[in-house]
Amino acid sequence: MDTVLAVAPSLGVLATCAAFGVAVATYYRLRVPVYGPRRRRPSPPRRLPAPERKAVLDVLHEPRFVDLAPAEVHAMLLEEGRYLCSVRTMHRILAENAELRERRNQLRHPAYAKPELLATAPNQLWSWDITKLLGPAKWTYYYLYVVLDVFSRYVVGWMVAHAESAALAKRLLAETCARQGVEPGQLTIHADRGTSMTSKPVALLMADLGVTKTHSRPHVSDDNPFSEAQFKTMKYRPQFPERFGEVEDARAHSADFIAWYNDEHHHSALGMLTPADVHHGLVEQRVAERQVVLDSAFAAHPERFPRGRPIAARPAREVWINKPTQAPGAPLAVETRSDRSRDASGVTGAGPYTAHAH
């Protein structure tokens, strides 16, 4: 550094610092002693003397003022016939003593971690939610429970009931896991923080099944995007009625919609394949069939494809809820297991609230 300080004025600061690998800011910082220490900014003439500032701080530390904002303390002192300083001066004194913060004794909300969930195959990550369906009269509703596979967008279980209930949710999840052959340690189920989702019966069921449960952060809508998108697809269809007359009407409409959604709806996020194709391991077959058609079109009219031979789209190999911006150290994922043959439809359970598992 002595050499840099001696040579830089004649050879140039940038060239010298670059040659010696020294930051330019470091050079100028070390030059300060050459010109002497910087003069401190003079204290404002209206600044309170140190004893008075100490007295103001002692008042702010009194038990009756310790949890109050400076403006409140200032107002209370005025009512008592005392004036120590302005509200702004109180803020400055607190800042000098590292006490400028929330002074009120109030509840602190815990810091909720953002869920970062990965699925690389069906039945690794499910998302479930409940939506209201308008009934025949004002303030009457039916409740549609839907369990969705995040990787395939396949509705693996659903139910329409008269109420939102933890017992019904427990029954639906138990029957859906049994239907899909879920093994302990295989599945993660994600939901928002509704009363049924966070209920103790559902938590105990998942513990018994060896299923990991996660929840969205409070008041964060995009932590559960797949269920919300599926509900929007249903409610924005032209066939969706404004109201349902009876619960059987809601169940019939939901059955028709979910059958269409699983087996006929070509999902844009799945390379325009259906959820059933992805869930039941038919991706390679469907992509190969489409590629044959594209190759024939390209062979017949190659001039219509300026970018060359078209390639059939395929679904993503990884599906995230809140994909990390950086490489994850240990992402929450479940090991992939071999596909099982699954029935495409069916009904389980009995009684007034029937759970449907696909």
The pLDDT value recorded for residue 268 is 93
Span 220-240, pLDDT tens digits: 878 899 999 999 999 999 999
Residue with tokens 């701080």: 57
Read off the pLDDT band of 338 (50, 70, 90): very low
The one-letter amino acid code at 286 reads: R
- Mean pLDDT to the nearest integer, 140-149: 97
- Looking only at the bridges linking them, the beta strands covering 125-134 and 188-191 are parallel
Span 5-63, pLDDT tens digits: 888 889 899 999 999 999 998 888 887 665 556 677 788 888 999 999 999 999 999 99
Query: CA separation (Å) from 265 to 43, 45, 240, 257, 258?
Result: 73, 76, 16, 10, 10
- Dig out the tokens for 310 from the structure: 């078209």
- Topology of 118-280+319-357 in CATH? Nucleotidyltransferase; domain 5 (3.30.420)
The pLDDT value recorded for residue 335 is 39
CB contact set of 261 (below 8 Å; sequence gap of 6+) = 155, 230, 233, 234, 275
CA atoms within 13 A of residue 141's CA, in its CB half-sphere: 10
CB contact set of 295 (below 8 Å; sequence gap of 6+) = 309
**Stretch among 26-30, 145-149, 239-243 having the lowest mean pLDDT:** 26-30
pTM (2 d.p.) = 0.66
pLDDT at 325 over 90: no
Alpha helices (H) in 124-224, listed in sequence order: 166-180, 200-209
Neighbour count for residue 91 (Cβ, 10 Å): 14
Residues 40 and 147: their CA atoms lie apart, in Å, by: 67
- Mean pLDDT to the nearest integer, 107-124: 88
pLDDT at 102 over 90: no
Span 173-198, pLDDT tens digits: 999 999 999 999 999 999 999 999 99
pLDDT at 347 over 60: no
- Dig out the tokens for 105 from the structure: 């004794």
CB contact set of 223 (below 8 Å; sequence gap of 6+) = 114, 115, 192, 216, 217, 321, 322
Write down the domain spans for the chain.
Answer: 2-35, 43-108, 118-280+319-357
pLDDT at 241 over 90: yes
DSSP secondary structure, 296-336, as one string: HHHHH-GGG-TT-S-------S-EEES--SS--SS-B----
pLDDT at 330 over 60: no
pLDDT at 352 over 50: no
The pLDDT value recorded for residue 356 is 59
